[in-house]
Amino acid sequence: MHIFSKSFTQQEPIPEAAIEAAVAVMRSGRLHRYNLAEGERGETALLEQEFADSLGVPYCLACASGGYAMQIALRAAGLQFGDKVLCNAFTLSPVPGSIHGAGGVPVLVDIQDDSTVDVDDLRRAAEESGARFFLLSHMRGHIGDMQAIVAACNELDIVLIEDCAHTMGASWKGQPSGTFGKIGCFSTQTYKHLNSGEGGLLTTDDPEIMRRAVILSGSYMLYDRHLAAPGADSFGDVRLQTPNCSGRMDNLRAAVLRPQLAEMPDRRERWNRLYRVLEEGFGQEKSVVLIPRPPEEGFVGSSIQFRLPELSRERIAAFIAGCERRSIPLKWYGQHEPEDYTSRYDSWRYLGNTRSVPNTEKMLATLCDLRIPLTFDEEDCRAIARLIIEALQESE
């Protein structure tokens, strides 16, 4: 039996330019984003400006994590304690965790067979719950019909916030992910598209939301040291009415991220080449059903998902074990207990009783997920596809 020899958790080295920038920050001793020399703009403020420019939006805030960015987004958008917040039933635990952390109550919305949100169920959930917010997760990099989602939110007077942890650099009909809703939230955690260990970015074109977010993040009265925020003279009473919930990004992480941001177009191209190799390899096995990629979607293929709808639970479990024997950590969302990052809505027991989401249950029962590290090449991906199909055939 052949065994795959490379690690699925090994990242590419941090670029030399990023290492040099980080060393310069450490030598200065000014790691805190507001600890600046006279006339200095600072790495964090520059990162915010550059990321905002990359999306074509005026405002960006760098945060300690993607989850923290979502919490700030909800509070800056007006969430009050006990308010209902809609979210995909198929998402990762930081999404409902952020809603809970901000004082909201998550309300699950069912998904379609392509793993994106069911707009009809979005309407039903909104009407049943009275929710005024929707934290939409572009889960595992799949973007739903954004025109239909935005239209539903506008009709129901719902504030749309996008969780773009898996869609940095992606788009729908040419419009960047994160620019459809009132706020976009991004992650720079190690396994995302940019790597600072932990980190997050919040973007918006709403000046009042941005003013609140800056204060919430912990700016004290130093909001004049932002480059991608409203003018300091516009903060007025916001600075006195908004709590400081310290969750800033520091200059060290921002220095690591700025050179990586410049590499994003190249990274997207490389990821998508590897994705297409795996997609082609899996497509040769009739029992494997890939998640479709519609032509409107400009995706970033940092992971790949497929379903095994004709297989029993026992056979899927045997297949997953066969992949593990080949050193391929394929994740299965049908596991009864959470494992690694594949926790499901029914394991978040703090939610209490939840709405019925039957299609999510059906989808997750046979859904598999695989990371695609940029440390792999096309031949690695061909080998992975062969080994996965071999494990599938062995499980018969």
Whether 79 contacts 73, CB under 8 Å: no
Centre a 10 Å sphere on the Cβ of residue 8 and count the other Cβ atoms it contains: 17
| Same-domain status, 207 and 60 | yes
54 residue type, one letter: S
| Same-domain status, 59 and 124 | yes
* HEC profile of 170-224: CEECCEECCCCCCEEEEECCCCCCCCCCCCEEEEECCHHHHHHHHHHHCCCCCHH
Reading the block at residue 167, the tokens are: 């869609």
Determine what percent of the chain is predicted with pLDDT higher than 70: 100
3-state SS, residue 368: strand
| Same-domain status, 230 and 200 | yes
| Same-domain status, 233 and 292 | no
231 confidence band (pLDDT: 50, 70, 90): very high
Q: What pLDDT is stored for residue 341 in this prediction?
A: 78
Q: What pLDDT is stored for residue 335 in this prediction?
A: 87
Q: What pLDDT is stored for residue 203 in this prediction?
A: 98
- The CA distance from 240 to 390, in Å, is 63
Taking only the tens place, the pLDDT of each residue in 100-141 is 999 999 999 999 999 999 999 999 999 999 999 999 999 999
Taking only the tens place, the pLDDT of each residue in 328-386 is 999 999 988 888 877 889 999 999 889 999 999 999 999 999 999 999 999 999 999 99
| Same-domain status, 282 and 252 | no
| Same-domain status, 284 and 210 | no
Q: Which domain holds residue 182?
A: 16-262
Taking only the tens place, the pLDDT of each residue in 209-221 is 999 999 999 999 9
| Same-domain status, 255 and 323 | no
Sign of CA dihedral 331, 337, 339, 344: positive
326: enclosing H helix or E strand: none
- The CA distance from 9 to 199, in Å, is 18
Whether the per-residue pLDDT at 75 is higher than 90: the answer is yes
Q: Where are the alpha helices (DSSP H) in the chain?
A: 16-28, 43-55, 66-76, 94-101, 119-129, 146-156, 207-217, 238-241, 251-262, 264-282, 313-325, 358-365, 378-394
> Which among 46, 52, 32, 65 has a CA at the least distance from the CA of 210?
52
| Same-domain status, 333 and 320 | yes
Q: Within a domain: residue 34?
A: yes
How many structural domains are present in the chain?
2
Q: Within a domain: residue 6?
A: no
Taking only the tens place, the pLDDT of each residue in 11-40 is 999 999 999 999 999 999 999 999 999 889
3-state SS, residue 187: strand
- 310 CB contacts (<8 Å, ≥6 apart)? 287
Q: What pLDDT is stored for residue 28 in this prediction?
A: 96
CATH number of the domain at 306, please: 3.90.1150.10
> Which among 297, 300, 298, 304 has a CA at the least distance from the CA of 280?
304
For residue 169, the 8-state DSSP code is T
- The CA distance from 94 to 154, in Å, is 26
Q: Compute the half-sphere exposure of residue 80: CA atoms within 13 Å on the CB side of its CA.
A: 2
